[in-house]
Structure 1
Amino acid sequence: MTGVQATAHPAPAETPAPSALPQLLTPAEEVPVLAAADEAEKVAAKYPNSSAGAHWDSTAKILYINLVQPKAKQADHRAELQSAISLTSAKLGVTTKYRTVPLSLDQQNAFVDRFLKERAQWGGKAAVDNVVTASVDELTGRIQATALISAEQLQTAARKYFGNAVDIHTGGVPQAQGRYEDSPLFFAGTPLWKAGPGSHDVGTADCTAGFNWRRHSDGDSYVSTAAHCVASGENLYGPNESQRLGYVGTRYLNNYEYVDFAFVNVTRAGTTPAGRVWVGPADTGVFRNITSVDAGTVTGTTVCSSGAFTGLICGKINNRNTAAAVNGITIERLTCVTGSQLTQRGDSGAPWVSTPDAGSARAWGQHVGTAYCDNSGDNKVDMVFSTVKNIAARVGATLIVFGAE
Structure 2
Amino acid sequence: MTRFRWLIAAMAAWSLATVTIPASAAVPPAERAVLEEIYNSTGGASWSNNANWLTGDPCEDAWAGVICIGGPEHHVSELHLSNNALSGTLPGFTALASLQRVNVSYNNLTGPMPDLAGLTALVGFWANDNQFSGFLPELSGLTSLEFFYASANQLVGPIPDISGMTSLKDFRVSTNKLTGTPPPAPSGLLPGGSSLCPNYLHSPSLTDAQWSAATSELDWSRWCTPGFLATASAGAGGSIDGPAAVALLPGETASFTLTPDTNFVIDTTGGTCGGTLAGNTFTTNQVQQDCTVTVTFRPVTYQVTPSAGPGGSITPATPQTVPAGETVAFTAMPNLSYAVDTLLSTCGGSRAGNQFTAGPVTGDCTVTVTFKALPVMAVPSLGEWALLLTGLLAAGLGALRLRRRATP
For Structure 1 versus Structure 2, the TM-score category normalised by the shorter chain is under 0.3
Larger relative CO (CA 8 A, sep 6+): 1 or 2?
Answer: 1
* Normalised TM-score (structure 2): 0.22
Q: Of Structure 1 and Structure 2, which has the larger fraction of its residues in helix?
A: 1
* Normalised TM-score (structure 1): 0.22
Larger Rg: 2
